[in-house]
Structure 1
Amino acid sequence: MADVARAAGVSSATVSYVLSGKRPVAPETRAAVEEAIAELSFTVNVTARSLRTGRSSLVALIVPDIVNPFYAQLAATLQEELRERGLHVVVCNTRARRDEEQTLLAEAVQQRFAGVIITPFRLKPRDFAPIVDAGIPVVVSADVSFGPMDLVTPDARAATRRALEQVAAAQRRRIAMIAGPRDATGGDPRLEHLRALALQLGMALPHDMVVRGEHTREAGAAGFAELMSRRHRPDALFCGNDVIAVGAMEKAHELGFDIPGDVALIGHDDASFASLVRPRLTTIRYPAAEVARAAAQLLTERLDGRKVHKTVRVKAEFVARASV
């Protein structure tokens, strides 16, 4: 940096401000520094910076299924948002396994990551104690809180109600759901909200009309086959996410059921493929890009010194398409 400063005729501090973006620099000064950087082929020594500051420039994004387009979009937007702040995202896939989640949190502590953004699946609140004690900021993206950490969470009640009203308008009354596994530590608020809102609208979601499984296409296919083999079949099926819904749709085609003729199908998240499958999937949109922007903002606020934990609710939206 001293060499760049001499070539540009500025102080080393000014070069640092240009590189970090932490303070405004006059456009002509910035241009002179950037020209000197290019001429000298200067690159930042990230390891040296980390040793000096005591903090890495890396942020761990820990998700249960990177193959799910929701998390792919989350990662892409988060990378864009944090790069502007001089931070870099390392994507970590847990496959929804508790041991993987625990290992990745421990590695974030060992490597002194700048922060962690995580969608926990089987972690318990106590599992976060070591990383919180280490002073590493954590942002949880989940339907429920996991303790004294920043939280990005969906506000989906209005959208779920609209989905139920659409189902009722289509003269459907026997609703069912393919929900997540019983041992997901955040419970299943999507199921709980659906059941409560159905009762308000004079509908019912009996316990025997709920099947559970992982958030996968295979679980969607198996759940659909189980529900449609029963004597009293559902005529409307809600799914914990769009990946489950696509598995259900594939099994419906295989078994000769028509969607929405025999059964209406509703997903959750509005993943990129939801408008591409046939019939196009009716779903509840939980915008991954907005979730990423909210998480990035919370994390950078914590890195800038905010002490009080915050919760950001991202509004979900009902998207009517052809599967109802």
Structure 2
Amino acid sequence: MEQQPVTMSDVARAAGVSVTTVSYVLSGKRPVAPATTEAVQAAVARLGFRLNTVAQSLRTGRSSTAALIIPDIANPFYAELARGLQDALRRERLHVVICNTNADRAEELSYLDDVVRRRLDGVVITPQWLVTDDLDPLRAAGIPVVVSADTELSDLDVVRADSREAIDQAVAHLAERGHRRLGMVAGPTGTPNGDPRLALYRAAARRHGLALPADLVVRGKHTREAGAAALRRMMSRAQPPTAVVCVNDRSAIGVLEAAEDTGLRIPSDLALIGHDDIEVASLTRPRLSTIRYPAYEVGSTCGRLLLERLDGRVDPVEVALRTRFVPREST
């Protein structure tokens, strides 16, 4: 005869408490006396009870799952962001599903559609190509969205970098070392939000008397390959740069590799600055000067804002996290 599955009522009888108390212990939504919690947990272990999360989802209308939609899962910055988000949401027993878009608009839209169809509890996203109307299905479904990026998307919670001061310090650092002509490995063309880091570098270059000419700004993906190709293109110009700044550390590492292949010495022939301060930035040779953007704090802040939305906050919030310039051997 097939054994019947253990129910929450069975656990309640074994622990000598109500089904509601068992629910509070398992969900963590309400405080329960330590002795009672211990009795429930002991009964769960003894009976081999497993919570039916599908049934729970149907009953509560909540999936206990949020999506993290990112453009490049291979970028260590997003791995650290994911860890911060997961740690923040785990305290409320929310699970995180990671969705990699390869910085492709069709993939972004596909994952948003999945979120709505699966009735996930919320989304944290670093969008590349989305516009405001793309989020209408989530708004209609009442699914909160937190954006990790500088964005023109409206009526959303946003966590972004406050990099003006750090980028100004980086350009001042280059000016003090005699550099007068910059190149930049920037992000792709045509994105709805442009490239805020490029705009900040242009403004800082003007303040400190450095040139950042259009023919030394190379746009592309945030990858090592794009960084390497960008350096080769810059160095083919009649007036190549004496310093290169990059949209992120991965593209800067590509510049390092291309410089070695072409016989350029860093920093004596070419200074180099990245952005994000992923772990490998301090392990390259020479070690990479960069702008530190705290990825773990980005993720945990996104998690906090998402939980606030789920608790009923309505008004959108913007959080600007400070960055700082970290000078190392590459400058």
Is TM > 0.5 for Structure 1 vs Structure 2?
yes
Kindly indicate whether the alpha-carbon contact (under 8 Å) linking 1:238 and 1:265 is maintained by their aligned counterparts in 2.
Answer: yes
- Give the letter aligned to residue 307 of structure 2: T
**In the TM superposition, what whole-angstrom CA distance separates every residue of 1:61-83 from its partner, at most 9, and x where no partner exists?**
00000000001111122222212
**Match for 1:258 among 260, 265, 278?**
265
**Match for 2:184 among 163, 177, 180?**
177
Determine the C-alpha separation between the residues in 1 that align with 2:197 and 2:218: 14
**Match for 1:231 among 229, 238, 251?**
238
Q: SS at 2:134's partner residue?
A: helix
Kindly indicate whether the alpha-carbon contact (under 8 Å) linking 1:117 and 1:295 is maintained by their aligned counterparts in 2.
Answer: yes
Within-5 A mapping of 1:217-296: 217-296=224-303
**Match for 2:151 among 144, 150, 162?**
144
Determine the C-alpha separation between the residues in 2 that align with 1:223 and 1:290: 30
Determine the C-alpha separation between the residues in 2 that align with 1:133 and 1:154: 29
Q: SS at 1:43's partner residue?
A: coil
- Give the letter aligned to residue 105 of structure 1: L
Determine the C-alpha separation between the residues in 1 that align with 2:180 and 2:259: 19
Determine the C-alpha separation between the residues in 2 that align with 1:294 and 1:79: 11
Kindly indicate whether the alpha-carbon contact (under 8 Å) linking 2:272 and 2:289 is maintained by their aligned counterparts in 1.
Answer: yes
Equivalent in the alignment of 1:216: 223
Deviation at 1:8, TM superposition (A): 1.4
Determine the C-alpha separation between the residues in 1 that align with 2:143 and 2:71: 21
Equivalent in the alignment of 1:119: 126
Within-5 A mapping of 1:71-82: 71-82=78-89
Determine the C-alpha separation between the residues in 1 that align with 2:112 and 2:243: 39
Deviation at 1:14, TM superposition (A): 1.5
**In the TM superposition, what whole-angstrom CA distance separates every residue of 1:25-47 from its partner, at most 9, and x where no partner exists?**
22122111111111111111110
Deviation at 1:204, TM superposition (A): 2.7
**In the TM superposition, what whole-angstrom CA distance separates every residue of 1:183-203 from its partner, at most 9, and x where no partner exists?**
222210000011112212222
**In the TM superposition, what whole-angstrom CA distance separates every residue of 1:39-61 from its partner, at most 9, and x where no partner exists?**
11111111001101112111110
- Give the letter aligned to residue 26 of structure 1: A
Equivalent in the alignment of 1:321: 328
Equivalent in the alignment of 1:188: 195
Q: SS at 1:268's partner residue?
A: coil
Equivalent in the alignment of 2:3: none
Q: Which moved more, 1:80-89 or 1:294-303?
A: 80-89
Q: SS at 1:274's partner residue?
A: helix
Q: SS at 2:319's partner residue?
A: strand
Kindly indicate whether the alpha-carbon contact (under 8 Å) linking 1:145 and 1:151 is maintained by their aligned counterparts in 2.
Answer: no
Q: Does 1:166 align with 2:173?
A: yes
Within-5 A mapping of 1:52-91: 52-91=59-98
Deviation at 1:320, TM superposition (A): 1.1
Q: SS at 2:211's partner residue?
A: coil
Determine the C-alpha separation between the residues in 1 that align with 2:131 and 2:330: 36
The ranges of structure 1 where at least 4 consecutive aligned residues each deviate by more than 2 angstroms after the TM superposition are none
Task: Provide TM-score, normalisation by structure 2.
Answer: 0.96
Task: Provide TM-score, normalisation by structure 1.
Answer: 0.98
Q: Which runs of 5+ in 1 are unaligned?
A: none
- Give the letter aligned to residue 288 of structure 1: A
**In the TM superposition, what whole-angstrom CA distance separates every residue of 1:196-243 from its partner, at most 9, and x where no partner exists?**
122122223222221111111111001000111112111110001001
Q: SS at 2:279's partner residue?
A: coil
Determine the C-alpha separation between the residues in 1 that align with 2:18 and 2:315: 36
Equivalent in the alignment of 1:22: 29
